[in-house]
Each structure stands twice: as structure tokens, then as C-alpha cells.
Structure 1
């Protein structure tokens, strides 16, 4: 893999921030789970915005290999999973409902 996980995580956070993603939170979860090293959680203000954020993230990762994405159809909760970094993008009310931050805090 070119680039370490830490710098890729920072790139993803920057991309979300530049595209007006809100309430960006990052968790280092490598000691809590095997599914990821980092969780990044952010909100978009509509399903269209959530999908756009996911597309921006994927566009910035396209130089790397495998990127998994789920939830692009509805755009309520999109997960972009890449090299140990799991990005959760929500509409605010969906994020509020699932409260996944509380799982990792």
C-alpha cells in the first residue's frame, strides 16, 4: 500500500471537510476491533450531499486498490471501507438514530 493509514485517514478527513461534511469525528479503533484501524464519522445535510461526500472520498482514494462502498442507493448512511479505514457518512437524523459514535467512545 502506498502511503500509511494515518496519512490516508487525514486525507479523507480533509476531503470531507473541504466538501462541507459536518461533525467529523475520528476514532482510533485498532485496539478495539479487527474490522478497522480507524473509524471516520461525518454528516451531510441531505442524501444527495452524503452521496457526493462518498464520491469525493472514493475519487481521492482511486489510486489505491480495493474500496468497498455500501448505501449509495439511498444515501442515508454510506459506508466507504478502505485499507482499515471505515468511513460512515450519514444524514444527521440517521446518524442521531444509530448513535454509532457511542459504540466507539
Structure 2
């Protein structure tokens, strides 16, 4: 699936379930494992699971490749090959601060801007 179409699919799936603070970071040319990271927050462990389930369900329906899903109570990672999606509780997101880590490496913009 084309990167832009997959990105739109992921963002729409997250917005459908009311994700907070969507951010997309372009990491092309910086790392070899993916092209784009999308980071979102949820309000509770159930909310982040619902967000992840909706992304996976929509990706499957569209025929996108799902490499894997890693789950924790406060963080779900979905690997869609070209895009890695991180869905976290706000305190987990603040602790790991992936935006700051990758801002030094790639282009970061609000997901709605890309």
C-alpha cells in the first residue's frame, strides 16, 4: 500500500476512536526499519487498546501488511512495515519522549499537517 494512503488510513482510524495529540515523524533516510512513525495518546489502558484494535482492523481490511503488534498496559506498538504506530498513555509518552528523540533525527509535524 502506498505510504500516503496508509498514513491517511492510520490517522483516520486513530481519529475515529478519539486519539489525542497525533504526531507523525518522517524517519526516511534516518533508520532502515520504517519510513514514518505515528504517535498518539489515549486516556486509559482500555482506550489505547481500542485505538490499536481500530488501526489493526482498518489495516487488515485495506490489505496492509501487519508485521506485528506489541502490547503493554501503557503502550501499544503496531508495525505496518512502512509505518510504526505508537499509542501510549500520556505519562508513558512524556517519560519516553519519542518526539524529542526523533525530532533530532527527522522531520516532525502534527499528523494532520503531513
TM-score, structure 2 as length reference = 0.83
Partners of 1:75 and 1:51 in 2: CA distance: 9
1:70 equivalenced with 2:59 (yes/no) = no
Which residue of structure 1 aligns with residue 91 of structure 2?
A: 93
Matches within 5 A, 1:21-100: 21-63=19-61, 64=63, 66-67=65-66, 68-71=68-71, 74-100=72-98
TM-score, structure 1 as length reference = 0.90
Structure number with higher helix proportion? 2
Q: CA deviation at 1:11?
A: 1.1
Q: After TM superposition, which residue ranges in structure 1, 4 or more long, deviate above 3 angstroms?
A: none
Over aligned residue pairs, what C-alpha RMSD do you find? Answer: 1.2
Unaligned runs of 5+ in 1: none
Structure number with higher relative contact order (C-alpha < 8 Å, ≥ 6 residues apart): 2
Which residue of structure 1 aligns with residue 112 of structure 2?
A: none
Partners of 1:36 and 1:59 in 2: CA distance: 20
Unaligned runs of 5+ in 2: 104-114
